[in-house]
Amino acid sequence: MKEKNSNSAEEFVWKDLIHNIRRFRRSNRQPAGSQITVIKKKEFFENDKAIQRGLVRWECIRRNKKFKELYKADREILCFDKNICLTPETTKEAISKEITRIKIKVDKDGSRRFESRADEKKYTTFLHFLQDLGRSESLNNSAVKPKNLSGLIYDCLTPKDISKFSKEEINRFIEQIPQQVEFVIDFGYSKQEILSEIKKQIDMWFRLYEAAKMDNTKRALHYANIQRYLKVYDLKNGKSRPTFADLATQLYPGAASKNLDSTVQQVKREYKRAGELINGGFVFIK
């Protein structure tokens, strides 16, 4: 059973933490690029703030009984590579010493560069591990949080999963996804962390919209529909001044022959929609 949301450390979802660590460990094994990273002075000090916070979190986490049990079941959890293997007995002082051994050159403008690829990888590993340490959906400890939680719920779904839904379920699913999302920013975090988290949130919501194929005309104005509305508007206001019945027969001859009244109402709605767009509704065209 999933543990309920709370700020209580006793209800922290420890399996989520292990999942995040494993995901980070896999991504850390990807080969690095050819250029050695240069860190700007301000960014370097903001990184240090994140590292110090992570070290304090680590001192709490490594003492937790549940975390120790999970580590005991899989001792590879905290082995990021052959040079970085932590255990619940690893203190923050020990990690700090490892970080201080990383060789960094300081440029005249205060920016830092690593002396070797190995030093860069080691620094990056510790930074990302400590930066994300302790984050969980069960706790409000993220720099940026969406007020609408549907993204957190549905982001795990893929287009393949959604394709298994019925048409009714898909429509309900799309209706629940907001076109505009409000965020809460915690300014207790550094500017660098806030901007990074905002980017992650934007990427997540775009993935959600793509998975849902967000082309529902109730949610966003479809370009083809807009062109049709404007065509009705132009014809209606042209020199010949046709009636709506004339337009219905001209634009939708098949539908008009079956039910002229219904088709006329459709043309009237399209004409009205064009007027709304022309008189200010265009600001909602994305």
Query: Angle CA(167)–CA(168)–CA(171) in degrees, nearest 5?
Result: 85
CA distance 266 to 248: 8
Positive or negative CA dihedral for 115, 119, 121, 125? negative
Contact 94, 73 (CB under 8 A): no
Beta-strand (E) ranges in the chain? 38-39, 79-81, 84-85, 104-106, 112-114, 144-146, 183-185
Q: Which two tokens stand for residue 252?
A: 């939708």
Residue 216 identity = N
Structure tokens, 83: 């040079």
Q: Are 249 and 260 in contact (CB under 8 A)?
A: yes
Q: Is the pTM of this model over 0.85?
A: no
For 24, residues 6+ apart whose C-beta sits below 8 A from its C-beta are 80, 128, 129, 132
Domain segments of the chain as ranges: 9-132, 144-211, 223-284
Give the model's pLDDT for residue 2.
40
Specify the pairing of strand 38-39 against strand 104-106.
unpaired
Residue numbers of the chain with a pLDDT score lower than 70: 1-12, 28-34, 134-141, 148-159, 162, 170-176, 211-222, 283-286
Per residue in 155-181, pLDDT tens?
556 667 767 777 777 666 666 677 778
pLDDT of residue 60: 87
